[in-house]
Structure formats: structure tokens, C-alpha cells
Amino acid sequence: MTTPVMIVILLLLAATPMQAQDDTTYAVELNVTVSPSFSFFEHDRYEGASHDVMFGTAFTSRVMWHPARLLAFGVMTGYTRIASEALPTDSNHTAGFLTRATLTSIPLQAVVSMQGPNLEVGVCMGPHLMMTSIDDGKPAQGSRMELNLTLLANYRFDLAPDVWIAPELRLSYFSYRGVLSVLPSFTIRYDLHRY
């Protein structure tokens, strides 16, 4: 008895037309962000360093695929200057500041965000190429990959049919170095393709 009923159900399901919703829209979005950064270091940057906040800048872009649901997926890259400062030339801090040290990074992160009509909240995870340079007349550079976690939130305002602007806040954490960066940002979003 159950076999004929199952066959009828399967035939009815096979005969039912299946199609996507007409109002479903998919989008590929480009977000370009500019921001100052305020970085807090858990460990001393060098012996005798003060625990001052370090100022920097960040320029990033992310490409997101938004499949007509709340979730969007993408990648983010860019350039961030985390810290730049003059270092004392001796341990007594008396000989002046003749050495300049800079810490920069290039993110290569996967992004997952939840997007409402105007609000976006997301997380970026992945490596950063960390680059350190020291210039005391004889420049020296070093680099390494480090993992990073970045949280972001923005609220978008319509500027044109496919263009939005948004104030954005990012929190970026490098656990290996113990660096927390706060980035109050300005973002422009453009829909590259809608289908």
C-alpha cells in the first residue's frame, strides 16, 4: 500500500514546475573603504616605549557576492599602516630619534556578512602579510604572514541607484602581536553586477 502512494507522490513532485522566484536578485558588490586607525599594543613596541595609541591609515576593498539572502560572501584586501614612529638610538633615550620604524599589513581575508536593507554586520578572517621596516640610514625590511580577525558594521545611505555610502566601524585583532586596531571608516559601495 505504501509503495503506490510513494509512486504517486513522486510523480506529482516530478510534474510540479520548479522555478526560481521572479523577484530574486543576486548581486556582486564592490566596497572601497578609507579610514584612520587607532592601534593599541598589548606588549611594549620596544624597551622603554610608552603605551600611547599609534595612529595609522587603512585603504581596503572587498568584493562581495550577495545571493538575495541576508548572507553575503567575499574577499578583502588593501593596505594598512598600523604604526610608524621614531625610535631612540640608545637605551637611555638621550641620543635623539634617528631611526624610523614602520609596521604595515596587506590583508588577504575571507568575508562573511549579514546584510539587511541598510545595515551590514560581518566578520573577516584570514592572513595579513605583515611588513616591518626600520630605517637608520641603512634600511632593513622583514615580513611574515599572521592571522587576523576583523569585525565590521556599517549603515548605508543611498547615493544613486547602484551606489551607497556608509559610515563603518571595524575592530581588527592580531593575536600574535597583541595589537587591537579600531578603524572608524568611510565606505562607498557599488553594485558591479545584478542578475
Ordered structural domains, the chain, with CATH: 25-194 (2.40.160.20)
pTM, 2 dp: 0.77
pLDDT at 68: 72
Query: Residue 161 has what DSSP assignment?
Result: T
Phi, psi of 186 (to 5 degrees): -125, 125
A 10 A CB-CB count for 172 gives 24
pLDDT at 70: 85
Whether the Cβ atoms of residue 118 and residue 126 lie closer than 8 Å to each other? no
pLDDT at 46: 61
Whether the Cβ atoms of residue 25 and residue 68 lie closer than 8 Å to each other? yes
pLDDT at 189: 95
Q: Please give the Cα distance from 106 to 127 (Å, whole number).
A: 9
All cell numbers assigned to 86: 621614531
Q: Please give the Cα distance from 71 to 44 (Å, whole number).
A: 39
Mean pLDDT by 10 residues, the chain (195 residues): 62 53 74 95 68 88 88 95 79 64 93 91 95 85 93 94 94 89 96 86
Side chain identity at 57, as an amino acid letter? T
All cell numbers assigned to 66: 550577495
Q: Is 180 helix (H, G, I), strand (E, B) or coil?
A: strand
pLDDT at 99: 79
